[in-house]
Amino acid sequence: MTGSFITFEGPDGAGKTTQLTLLAEHLRRRGHAVRLTREPGGTPLSDKIRSLLLDPSHSEMDARTEALLYMASRAQHVAEVIGPGLARGEVILCDRFADSTVVYQGAARRLAKQELLAINRFATGGLIPDLTILLDCDAVRLTGRRKSRGGQDRIEREAEAFHDNVRQGFLDLAAAEPERIKLVAAEGSVTDVHNAIVKLVEEFLRRRGKREDQ
Ligand code: T5A
C-alpha cells in the first residue's frame, strides 16, 4: 500500500473533528489526495452500525456486543474505503481507529486487551496506522466541551469515571508507542492546536517521502 494512514484519537470532545477538517483543507491545498473518514462509520453499512452503537436507547448493550459491533464497522470500512484509498496512494485521515477500541472497550469497559487486539487483527487484516495524533485535554475542559454540544450519545452519557479511564488509557497508549502516537495538547486555541498538528504531519510526510525516494 503506497498511501499514508493517519488517525486522530482522544477522549470525546478533544477537538478531533475540528482539527481533522482543518488538516484535510491544509493538505489538499498542498496538493495531496486526501480522504477524510471516521469510525464508527465511513461506509453506508458502517454508518448503520454507528447508529446502533451510539443510540442512547440501547443502554442494555453488553460490552462484548459493543466491541464486536465496532469491529464489524471497522472491517467494512477497511475493506471498502481505507484499503482501496491506501492502494491508490491517498492520505487517509481517520477520526478514530483501533486505539479507540483498546481504550474504550479495554481500559474503560475492562475487556481483555489481548483478545481485543486479536479480533481487531481479524477485522483489519493487521492494518496499523502510520501516524496517530492523540489530542489530550484536561478533564474539566473535556466535560465542558461535551456538554456544550447538547444531546449526548450512548457513550458520552457514561459516568465521569468512565471518561477519566478513557483519558488515562490514551495517555498510557501514547507512552507505550511514542514512535507512532504523537501527543498534542488540545487546551490551546483551535489555530494553535492546528499549527502543532501541521508541524507533526508535515514532518511525517517529509520523512516518508524521503524513504520512498531511496
Ligand atoms: N468508540 C469509537 C469506541 O468506544 N470504540 C471504538 O472502537 C471507536 C472507534 C464515537 C464514540 O464511539 C466511541 C468513542 C466515541 O464515544 P463520535 O461522535 O464520533 O462517537 O465521538 P467523537 O469521536 O468523540 O467526536 P466528538 O465530536 O464527540 O469529539 P471531537 O471530534 O473530539 O471534538 P469536536 O471537534 O467535535 O469538538 C468538540 C467541541 O469543542 C469545541 C468544538 O467547537 C466543539 O463544540 N472545540 C474547541 N473549543 C475550544 N478550543 C479548542 N481548541 C476547541 N476545539 C474544539
Model confidence pLDDT, tens digit, residues 38-67: 999 999 999 999 999 999 999 999 999 999
CB-ligand 1 contact for 59 (6 Å cutoff) = no
Ranges in the chain, pLDDT < 50? none
- Strand positions, DSSP E, 31-180: 34-38, 91-95, 131-136
Residue 33, C-alpha cell as written in the block: 489526495
Strand order in the sheet with 181-185: 34-38, 91-95, 4-9, 131-136, 181-185
- The total of structural domains in the chain comes to 1
- pTM for this predicted structure: 0.96
Distance 142 CA to ligand 1 centre (A): 9
Of residues 170, 161, 168, 40, the one with CA closest to residue 102 = 170
Distance 17 CA to ligand 1 centre (A): 6
Contact 105, 63 (CB under 8 A): yes
34 pairs with which residues across the strands? 91
- What is the extent of the structural domain holding 138? 4-213
List the residue whose alpha carbon is closest to atom 47 of ligand 1.
Answer: 15
CATH of the domain at 34: 3.40.50.300
- As a whole number, the mean pLDDT across the chain is 95
Q: What is the pLDDT of residue 100?
A: 98
Residue 25, C-alpha cell as written in the block: 483543507
111 conformational bin, left if phi > 0, alpha if psi -120 to 50, beta if neither: beta
